[in-house]
A and B are shown apart, each in its own frame.
Chain A
Amino acid sequence: MFKKILIANRGEIALRIARTCREMGVRTVAVYSDLDRKSPHVYFADEAYPLGGKTSLDTYLAQSKLIDICRQSGAQAVHPGYGFLAENSEFAAKMEEAGITFIGPPADAIALMGSKTAARQRMISAGVPVVPGTDRPMPEEEAKKYSEEIGFPVLIKAAAGGGGKGMRRVDKSGEFRAAYQSAQREAAAAFGDSQVYIEKFLEQPRHIEFQILADNSGLVIHLGERECSIQRRHQKIIEEAPSSLLDADLRERMGQAAVKAAEACGYRNAGTIEFLVDEHRNFYFLEMNTRLQVEHPVTEMVTGLDLVREQLLIAAGESMTLQKSVPCFIGHAVECRIYAENPDNNFAPSPGMIHHIRQPGGPGIREDSGIAAGNEITLFYDPMISKLCAWAPDRLGAINRMIRALGEYELQGIHSTIPFLIRVLEHPRFRSGDFTTKFIAEEPGLFRKDHAKLKIAALAAVILQQREKERTKFSSSSNDYTSKWKIINRREILD
């Protein structure tokens, strides 16, 4: 096993990786931007090195700085987390050249799966079903013509993409141009590559993905599925395992397809095969994420494994804990992603200082966050501030536990998506398991507030206001009333 590794990331995932390292007796090297000096991932690590700068490009994406820090600190391996350099094949190759182990798949597997169009071609030849669409990036005119042929709606997707960035749905010809150009701009900003391609848009799909692990001997196993259909603007917000849609037969068939997909690209380490499942329960390969996923904790909770530990074992050339795929799960797990966004204002980003934070606890709860009081949420990085997971023997138990825990979460200084998440979890359709990726768009009721709580909140505000008034009663402020009244009276007379 490694003696020391560098974690090339920030926030909750950097802290989550460091926690497993500490349990395994592996020393950790943290890196940080100017804005992150006070972040928990820095003070939790054994060693910490400044990257100098604020933007992602100057810091967590600065490959040469990271390689220098590996050399300086004597780190034997790098864990990239997710985002930033996690799916950058050039970085993985540079690491291997420098004699530093990249804790992830081989560079060529990242490159293959990073090109969504090349991945589609490989999957077709491996016999894994894919969503109908173009097999390469296309210029605007040609892409528009192709879309008209296969029929709207279509999705314009970034060839280098993932995570919903650079993706646009188009319902008719007239909207094509604006959507194409907007997708290109977003793709260029997010991935440094503006190429896009076209996929048929499935009307009522579910988004279900399979976790796989592959060791150095060529053994590939799957750890079952995660249900990720609850999305907003193509961003996952609630994930669970298992999916209420799958039975043993479909799970077996999709699991085998996932294993086949990983084998087809010579995969190693942890990865995720994303599928869309249509209303007839046909499944299609969507893409492979060649990294640890944000939502990996739900798989950990229902399998009992620590995926970061498995990643380190595989990268160090040791054997994985399991030698065959997981036939069934233990209980049910739900994850909620908490974003610094205001659900009352169309989910506008809500940057600001965290004045107070107190994470929930109690039975079956796991919280992964990388922020503390005194930290500032800036517009420089991802707005996800915390992941809350709940486990229970059955699905409704896990959902109820999650609602309880979200209600306990104390967070002051910024807006968060907590109120919205609770309403999703309380919704009868979500609870019944009958939903698709369109759920949030279809349910305007998710934006209504709880009136019983409103009354209590109003009372508290009134009490505070009255106390404030008592306190300032004898100060000069009372004179203000008189003067303003006088002004208005004069104005009324003049009118």
Chain B
Amino acid sequence: MKIFAEIQDVLLTFEQREHNGTKLLYLDREPLDYEFLTLGNNRFSLILNQASTLLQIVQENDLYHIHIEGEYFAIRVEDEHMRALRELVAHSAVTQGEHTIRAPIPGLISRILVAEGQKIDAGDPLIILEAMKMENEIRSENEGTIKNVLVDEGKPVDKDQPLLIIAPESDVK
């Protein structure tokens, strides 16, 4: 069975095969010779072909947050069944034109730079969110029209709180 590890734009494909009741992992057709020990406190020791590494891993559903020698990766793992299922679901879902801009971090709405009904281009600044005494500009990823403004200036917002709803150009007449 194939198992996929996805990190941003990189996809690594592992394969699990069974030999005499023992499950082995392969990467690029090479069998992997490793020892993986749990140390506690989310710390793990991996020895791969005698190369020794300490990892800290925090799991969040199918996402693995991994700290390894000062580097950090967020890795999504799924096997071929899970992947096929997800692709089908994504394919069959009705694509909604609207999308919601959410607060990437908790903070204070310092300024709202757009108004309802306003047309925007990709890259346009939408909202200034103040957090930890710094101003952070939230920009639009797509073009469209501001359908709803859901927050007020001067008010605090939580992480992932909806801020704006953007409709694709054609939707708003």
- The chain A residues found within 8 Å of chain B, CB to CB, are 165, 182, 185-186, 189-190, 233, 344-345, 348-351, 355-356, 379, 381-383, 403, 406-413, 415, 418-419, 422, 449-451, 453-466, 468-469, 481, 484-485, 488, 491-492, 495
> How many residue pairs bridge A and B at CB < 8 Å?
163
Q: Tell yes or no: B102 within 8 A of A by CB.
A: no
Q: Tell yes or no: B135 within 8 A of A by CB.
A: yes
11 pairs from A and B in contact (CB 8 Å cutoff):
A348-B136, A356-B41, A356-B56, A379-B106, A379-B132, A382-B132, A455-B12, A455-B27, A461-B5, A462-B14, A465-B62
Nearest CB of A to B6, in Å: 9
Nearest CB of B to A91, in Å: 19
Q: Of all chain A residues, which has the CB nearest B36?
A: A463
Which residues on the A side are within 8 Å of B134 (C-beta)?
Answer: 165, 186, 233, 349
Considering the chains assembled together, what is the distance between the CA atoms of A485 and B53 in angstroms?
39
Q: Tell yes or no: B122 within 8 A of A by CB.
A: no
Nearest CB of A to B133, in Å: 6
Q: A349-B105, A454-B7, A460-B57 given as contacts; is B131 within 8 A of A379 (CB)? A: yes
User: Are B3 and A466 in contact (CB-based, < 8 A)?
Assistant: yes
State which residues 1-52 of B face A: CB under 8 Å. 3, 5, 7, 10, 12, 14, 16, 23, 25, 27, 32, 34, 36, 41-44, 46, 48, 51
Which residues on the A side are within 8 Å of B69 (C-beta)?
Answer: 407, 453
13 new A-B pairs (CB below 8 Å) besides A186-B135, A348-B105, A464-B77? A383-B132, A410-B43, A412-B58, A412-B67, A449-B73, A450-B71, A453-B71, A454-B12, A457-B75, A458-B14, A462-B14, A464-B44, A469-B79
Which residues on the A side are within 8 Å of B110 (C-beta)?
Answer: 185
Nearest CB of B to A185, in Å: 7
- The chain B residues found within 8 Å of chain A, CB to CB, are 3, 5, 7, 10, 12, 14, 16, 23, 25, 27, 32, 34, 36, 41-44, 46, 48, 51, 53, 55-59, 62, 64, 66-75, 77, 79, 81, 85, 88-89, 92, 104-107, 110-111, 128, 130-136
Which residues on the A side are within 8 Å of B73 (C-beta)?
Answer: 449, 453-454, 457-458
Q: A348-B104, A462-B25 given as contacts; is B135 within 8 A of A457 (CB)? A: no
Considering the chains assembled together, what is the distance between the CA atoms of A459 and B36 in angstroms?
10
Which residues on the A side are within 8 Å of B133 (C-beta)?
Answer: 165, 186, 189-190, 382
User: Are B56 and A459 in contact (CB-based, < 8 A)?
Assistant: no
Nearest CB of B to A390, in Å: 13
Which residues on the B side are within 8 Å of A185 (C-beta)?
Answer: 110-111, 135
Nearest CB of B to A411, in Å: 7
Which residues on the B side are within 8 Å of A383 (C-beta)?
Answer: 132
Which residues on the B side are within 8 Å of A492 (C-beta)?
Answer: 88, 92
Nearest CB of B to A367, in Å: 14
User: Are A418 and B130 in contact (CB-based, < 8 A)?
Assistant: no
Q: A466-B16, A466-B23 given as contacts; is B72 within 8 A of A459 (CB)? A: no
User: Are A410 and B67 in contact (CB-based, < 8 A)?
Assistant: yes
User: Are A461 and B57 in contact (CB-based, < 8 A)?
Assistant: yes
Which residues on the A side are within 8 Å of B3 (C-beta)?
Answer: 462, 465-466
User: Are A461 and B46 in contact (CB-based, < 8 A)?
Assistant: no
Considering the chains assembled together, what is the distance between the CA atoms of A37 and B3 in angstroms?
46
Give which listed residue, A186, A466, A481, contacts B81 with CB less than 8 A: A481
Give 8 closest A-B pairs by Cβ, nearest first. Answer: A458-B5, A461-B64, A407-B70, A407-B69, A465-B77, A457-B66, A461-B75, A457-B73
Q: A412-B42, A481-B85, A484-B85 given as contacts; is B62 within 8 A of A422 (CB)? A: no
Give which listed residue, B23, B56, B68, contacts A456 with CB less than 8 A: B68
Considering the chains assembled together, what is the distance between the CA atoms of A415 and B53 in angstroms?
20
User: Are B7 and A458 in contact (CB-based, < 8 A)?
Assistant: yes
Q: Of all chain A residues, which has the CB nearest B59?
A: A464
Q: Of all chain A residues, which has the CB nearest B12?
A: A458
Considering the chains assembled together, what is the distance between the CA atoms of A412 and B43 in angstroms?
10
User: Are A460 and B55 in contact (CB-based, < 8 A)?
Assistant: yes
Q: A344-B72, A466-B3, A488-B89 given as contacts; is B27 within 8 A of A189 (CB)? A: no
Nearest CB of B to A180, in Å: 14
Which residues on the B side are within 8 Å of A182 (C-beta)?
Answer: 128, 135
User: Are B27 and A449 in contact (CB-based, < 8 A)?
Assistant: no
Which residues on the B side are within 8 Å of A422 (C-beta)?
Answer: 70-71
Give which listed residue, A351, A355, A419, contacts B58 with CB less than 8 A: A355
Q: A356-B41, A455-B12, A466-B23 given as contacts; is B70 within 8 A of A461 (CB)? A: no
User: Are A460 and B105 in contact (CB-based, < 8 A)?
Assistant: no
Which residues on the A side are within 8 Å of B92 (C-beta)?
Answer: 488, 491-492, 495
Nearest CB of A to B22, in Å: 13
Nearest CB of B to A468, in Å: 8
